[in-house]
């Protein structure tokens, strides 16, 4: 283990000592500090602790317990955090009681961390030429990828436009088809309704019967329907009495009528027409004779 021994004065003032270390040094190195109060050795009280505090150039700090101490000598092992950042690290040794409520002394110094040639993540290569060639190839591939991506984007945009137009056309067609479908459905509904009504009417007529009653002359006609029995009842008033059917003919003319009671046939005229008819008893024919004697 590499060690460095440094004298530290607990009394403030003066120039802070500088301790040189390499970046990334760790437990392979140790720092030994001899504490003095001016020129008198400063003995660390029993039961107290010694801290090594520091602020790195990246403004991150660290705090570690001393590895050991005895009398006025303190030993601190280096850690990765102490030497992680190159540059001047402001450090102090702080001595305090076990509870940490009382500080009996502080000694300051500079930890000069010299920058390492390589970092822990440095890529090691035999030559930079393969890396340059690889970078050129990557750039060329990237250019082709960008060109192809632009081409694909243009194709996708054209396809999207075509799809949009097709969708709009489909909406128009779908609207017409929907209207036609609705019209057909409405017609079907109307037809079903008409069929149902016709079936109801047929059922009603199938079981229906009718009666008729003659009412007194001058009465109003009546009609009624009993849905329980299916009987349609009509009341028909008696009509006015008609003429006898006998007419009075002009002179030289006659009229004939039948007596509804006896069944006899009568000829009526204003003149004597007893010689105007001839009855054939054999045939039962009745003849009317004209003036020249012809029948």
pLDDT one-digit tens code per residue, 224-263: 878 777 787 888 887 766 655 556 566 666 677 778 788 7
Per-residue pLDDT, averaged over 26-30, amounts to 81
pLDDT one-digit tens code per residue, 121-170: 677 666 556 666 666 777 777 778 788 878 888 887 888 788 777 777 76
**Placement of tokens 């150039």 in the chain:** 57
pLDDT over 80 (residue 53): yes
pLDDT bin (cut points 50, 70, 90) of residue 118 is confident
* Model confidence at 112: pLDDT above 90: yes
pLDDT, position 129: 63
Core vs surface per residue 98-116: b (16+ CB within 10 A) or e: eeeeeeebebbbbbebeee
Q: Return the higher-pLDDT residue of 181 and 294.
A: 181
Tokens 């204003």 identify what position? 270
- What's the rounded Cα separation, in Å, for the pair 90 and 17? 11
In this prediction, residues 258-286 reach a mean pLDDT of 76
Tell me the average pLDDT across 68-90: 94
Q: Residue 120: what pLDDT?
A: 67
pLDDT tens string 197-217: 877 766 666 667 778 888 888
Query: How confident is residue 295, by pLDDT bands cut at 50, 70 and 90?
Result: low
Residues 95/49, Cβ–Cβ less than 8 Å = yes
Answer yes or no: is pLDDT of 74 > 80: yes
Residue 33: what pLDDT?
97
Interatomic CA distance for residues 240 and 246, integer angstroms? 17
Give percent above pLDDT 90 in the chain.
28
Reported as type and span, the H/E element at residue 164 is helix 129-206
Q: Check pLDDT > 80 for residue 4.
A: yes
């Amino acid at each position: 283990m590499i060690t460095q021994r440094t004298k530290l004065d607990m009394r403030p003032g003066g120039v802070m000592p500088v301790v040189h270390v390499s970046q990334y040094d760790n437990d392979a190195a140790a720092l030994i500090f001899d504490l003095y109060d001016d020129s008198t050795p400063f003995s660390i009280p029993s039961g107290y602790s010694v801290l090594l505090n520091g602020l790195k150039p990246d403004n991150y700090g660290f705090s570690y317990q001393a590895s050991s101490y005895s009398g006025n000598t303190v030993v601190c092992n280096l850690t990765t955090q102490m030497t992680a950042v190159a540059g001047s690290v402001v450090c102090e040794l702080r001595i305090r009681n076990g509870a940490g409520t009382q500080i009996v002394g502080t000694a300051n110094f500079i930890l000069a961390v010299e920058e390492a040639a390589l970092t822990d993540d440095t890529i090691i290569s035999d030559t930079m030429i393969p890396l340059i060639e690889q970078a050129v190839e990557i750039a060329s591939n990237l250019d082709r990828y960008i060109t192809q991506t632009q081409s694909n984007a243009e194709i996708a945009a054209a396809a999207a436009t075509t799809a949009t137009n097709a969708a709009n056309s489909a909406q128009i067609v779908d609207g017409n088809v929907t209207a036609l479908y609705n019209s057909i459905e409405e017609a079907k509904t109307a037809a079903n309704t008409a069929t149902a009504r016709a079936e109801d009417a047929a059922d009603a007529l199938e079981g229906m019967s009718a009666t008729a009653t003659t009412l007194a002359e001058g009465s109003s006609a009546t009609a009624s329907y009993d849905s329980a029995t299916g009987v349609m009842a009509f009341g028909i008033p008696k009509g006015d009495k008609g003429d006898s059917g006998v007419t009075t003919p002009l002179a030289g003319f006659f009229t004939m009528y039948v007596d509804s009671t006896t069944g006899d046939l009568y000829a009526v005229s204003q003149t004597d027409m007893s010689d105007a008819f001839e009855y054939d008893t054999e045939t039962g024919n009745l003849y009317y004779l004209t003036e020249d004697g012809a029948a």
